[in-house]
């Protein structure tokens, strides 16, 4: 059994409280309640990938042309300050712990802001991103 409540208002909060009160509790089978910020939105995800495509198409980074996925790893590493380790062949490096799947809305907003700033500094023309779309995400 899994139940999620998105606490947007007092009525939903009350529904969650009522649901918790209705649950049977047992010492031998405890239940866990976890409260955390919402994960990134589908709109943020779509915006991120559109921006990554534009950056990938327009930026050569120190002689390297990176794919959208590689740029995603680049920006994620910037945000998370990940550990960089040598690859198995000793020819390059790998950032470990990369994932945007579990980013919160605020983390993803920060990543989008970082991508806009980087794009601006590198003369990227964001084709699929309009200023009003960006504003919806707190930019």
Domains of the chain (ranges plus CATH)? 42-135 (1.10.3790.10)
Q: Please name which of 120, 71, 61, 138 lies closest in space to residue 100, comparing C-alpha atoms.
A: 71
Q: What is the pLDDT of residues 39-87, one digit of tens each?
A: 778 888 889 999 999 999 999 998 989 999 999 888 888 877 777 778 7
Please check the confidence at residue 16 and state whether its pLDDT lies above 90: yes
Please check the confidence at residue 11 and state whether its pLDDT lies above 90: yes
Q: How far apart, in whole angstroms, are the C-alpha atoms of residue 46 and residue 53?
A: 11
Q: Please name which of 114, 51, 46 lies closest in space to residue 79, comparing C-alpha atoms.
A: 114
């Amino acid at each position: 059994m899994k139940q999620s409540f998105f606490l947007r208002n007092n009525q939903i909060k009350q529904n969650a409280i009522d649901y918790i009160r209705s649950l049977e509790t047992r010492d031998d089978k405890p239940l866990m309640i976890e409260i955390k910020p919402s994960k990134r939105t589908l709109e943020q995800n779509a915006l991120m990938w559109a921006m990554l495509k534009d950056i990938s198409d327009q930026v050569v980074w120190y002689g390297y042309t990176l794919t959208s996925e590689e740029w995603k790893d680049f920006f994620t590493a910037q945000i998370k300050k990940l550990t960089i380790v040598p690859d198995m062949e000793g020819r390059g490096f790998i950032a470990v712990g990369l994932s945007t799947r579990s980013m919160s809305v605020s983390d993803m907003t920060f990543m989008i802001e970082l991508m806009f700033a980087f794009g601006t500094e590198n003369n990227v023309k964001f084709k699929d991103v309009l200023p009003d779309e960006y504003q919806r995400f707190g930019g």
